[in-house]
Structure 1
Amino acid sequence: MTHSYSHLLPPAWKSQVKGWLDEDTPSFDYGGFVVGEAPRDAFLLGKGSRRAVLAGVPFVDEIFRLLDCTVEWHVTEGDEFEPVKHIATVRGKARFLLLGERVALNVLARCSGIATASKRIKDLAQSYGFRGIIAGTRKTTPGFRLVEKYGMLVGGIDPHRFDLSSMIMLKDNHIWSSGSITAAIARARQVGGFSLRLDVEVRDEVEADEAIAAGADIVMLDNIEGSELVSVARRLRERWTGEGRKFLLETSGGITESNLRERAIAEIDILSTSSVHQSVPHIDFSLKIQIPPG
């Protein structure tokens, strides 16, 4: 049974949507005064020049619900469409349609852009034979993380940790401040307990061995590439097999579609990249009010 990803959204998400509308019209709606309150239909069109994945449906629904409008979707969220495509029909009073127009289009464009990029890199990795996890990162826009992580899910990849409380990740600054990888892991375990996984960033094979010995659940081989990545990952697997240590290997740092093949290797469990949400092209949408005949 297929479930909507909207069921994951936290209780506070609707207040976020209201905040977007409040920000966009903080005082008088001059354009709304011009068009008035005649009932109208508006066509939501998916444009651009390439196939795209639709994502962001619950946010658009809530934007227009707050404005007493209804949305009839003609494309299912998560499906790909070819432009130009009639994505949905929005019905309501003219001024309310225009009040929600730009906020809805901006959210849909960003969320769909992330979903499209996520699906593309996942499909490309799988075409290279990669069977591990493709994940995003926490390099998201403050205040807009919920939408961006949602887009990753709709695009079919792992959103990685949602925030600092979701998983313990120890990076170079944590380790330097603690004195060593072993000390940093010990302190993290003291407060994180058994329920949180521990992901440790390492710069080389020696640091990876220390992290595994100290009990890291995930070892992130940061900015290790090419043949070195393959050889380091293989030696770690061979050396720790039978030692009773269970761990995942993650590769991260500068991964894009152009260099994906050399990083999407069988020895790696997790491939994390911000290329699916940072500087990703938006998908072009427009909302066109239909003039009734006569």
Structure 2
Amino acid sequence: MPTPIPSPLILDKLLHDWLLEDIGRGDRTTDCLFPVESPVTKAYWIIKEEGVIAGLPIAEKVFQLLETNIKWQNLASEGEKLTQNTKIMEIEGKMKTLLTGERLALNLVMRLSGIATMARKYVEAIQDYPAKLVDTRKTTPGLRILEKYASGVGGAINHRMGLDDGIMIKDNHIQAVGSITKAIKLIRKTMPYPLSIEIETTNLQEVQEAILNQADIIMLDNMAVEDMKKAVSLIRQENPLIKIEASGNVTLVNIQNIAETGVDYISTSATITRSSWLDISMRFDR
């Protein structure tokens, strides 16, 4: 199922602000080259390394904000894995538009494609297991909605977009009030319907306490694989309706071992924090 791009109500303002950041009082170089009118021309983008494409519809919007009648044709689909030197899109518009919008548009697609590429690697590593890959809130400030979009394009599932998306009781929350039991009881008094409660646990004793307090989701945080197996067995036996999430120091080396424990979800920030930009360039037709 295709990942929907963010709402124009959110996206257009972000793109407008980022264009303003880059252009400022004007594109001095391009404005001097074309002080009045610029010719209509064609260009294309090419990826210079293998990777998963993400962000082309967003890049199109960048150019549309600069020129409403720009012509754009995608030569690749969002989430498509492509080989080096593949054309991914063609564009036709004023030379001035293409030169001024190039950097922001490319920056976004390079960044988002890098995330999608990394996410795909993690998803493919556990494709033979029931566990699903989930991202986290460890994102670049101001870019979360797009970085999580790219994570979804790569095949991951979005965890909370923000603190208002759900209740997750973490170690510092537990420490702040004294215990898992007290934290859950306090939250249940005022939590909005129909939010669920996820609780972070680090050992089997905390897992048992979370089960007794009827948590909806139990996170096994930074547990050894053998302890995860014991925790999964305990939770399935006591309450099979509880969802189980594994988290903490997840890598491509150990993710299969984690999936083998039988957890429902594996969450990691690596798809975003450990990804690199995919190398993409714009070239003009000759």
For 1:265 and 1:185, the matched residues in 2 are separated by: 29
What TM-score does the superposition give when structure 1 sets the normalisation length?
0.91
Contact 2:207 2:218 in 1 (8 A): yes
**1:17-52 CA distances to partner (integer Å, 9 max, x unpaired)?**
11110011112311212442111111111112x2x1
Contact 1:130 1:266 in 2 (8 A): no
Q: Which residue of 2 aligns with 1:16?
A: 14
Q: Which residue of 1 aligns with 2:241?
A: 246
The structural deviation recorded for 1:266 is: 4.6
Q: Which residue of 2 aligns with 1:219?
A: 218
**More displaced stretch, 245-254 vs 79-88:** 245-254
Q: Which residue of 2 aligns with 1:32?
A: 30
1:194 aligns with 2:189: no
The size of the alignment, in residue pairs, is 281
Q: Which residue of 2 aligns with 1:108?
A: 109
Residues 113 and 166 of structure 1: is their aligned pair in 2 closer, same or farther, counting only changes over 3 Å? same
Q: Which residue of 2 aligns with 1:121?
A: 122
Residues 58 and 84 of structure 1: is their aligned pair in 2 closer, same or farther, counting only changes over 3 Å? same
**1:89-131 CA distances to partner (integer Å, 9 max, x unpaired)?**
11111121111111011100111111111111111112xx311
Contact 2:3 2:152 in 1 (8 A): no
Contact 1:46 1:87 in 2 (8 A): yes
For 1:185 and 1:115, the matched residues in 2 are separated by: 35
Q: Secondary structure at the match of 1:11?
A: helix
For 1:266 and 1:39, the matched residues in 2 are separated by: 58
Q: Secondary structure at the match of 1:5?
A: coil
For 1:287 and 1:27, the matched residues in 2 are separated by: 24
Q: Which residue of 1 aligns with 2:164?
A: 165
For 2:167 and 2:2, the matched residues in 1 are separated by: 29
For 1:236 and 1:74, the matched residues in 2 are separated by: 47
For 1:124 and 1:207, the matched residues in 2 are separated by: 29
For 2:246 and 2:10, the matched residues in 1 are separated by: 33
Q: 1:283 aligns with which of 267, 278, 286?
A: 278
For 1:4 and 1:35, the matched residues in 2 are separated by: 40
Specify the code of the residue in structure 2 equivalent to 1:9: S
Contact 2:126 2:259 in 1 (8 A): yes
For 1:285 and 1:35, the matched residues in 2 are separated by: 25
Specify the code of the residue in structure 1 equivalent to 2:107: N
The structural deviation recorded for 1:10 is: 5.8
Q: Secondary structure at the match of 2:218?
A: strand
What TM-score does the superposition give when structure 2 sets the normalisation length?
0.93
Contact 1:64 1:70 in 2 (8 A): no
Q: Which residue of 1 aligns with 2:154?
A: 155
Q: Which residue of 1 aligns with 2:60?
A: 61
> Quick one: percent identity of the two aligned structures?
33
Aligned CA-pair RMSD = 1.6
Query: Which stretches of structure 1, 4 residues or longer, exceed 6 Å deviation after superposition?
Result: none
Q: Which residue of 2 aligns with 1:44?
A: 45
Contact 2:63 2:98 in 1 (8 A): yes
For 2:185 and 2:192, the matched residues in 1 are separated by: 11
Specify the code of the residue in structure 2 equivalent to 1:140: T
Q: Secondary structure at the match of 1:44?
A: strand
Q: Which residue of 2 aligns with 1:5?
A: 4
The structural deviation recorded for 1:84 is: 0.5
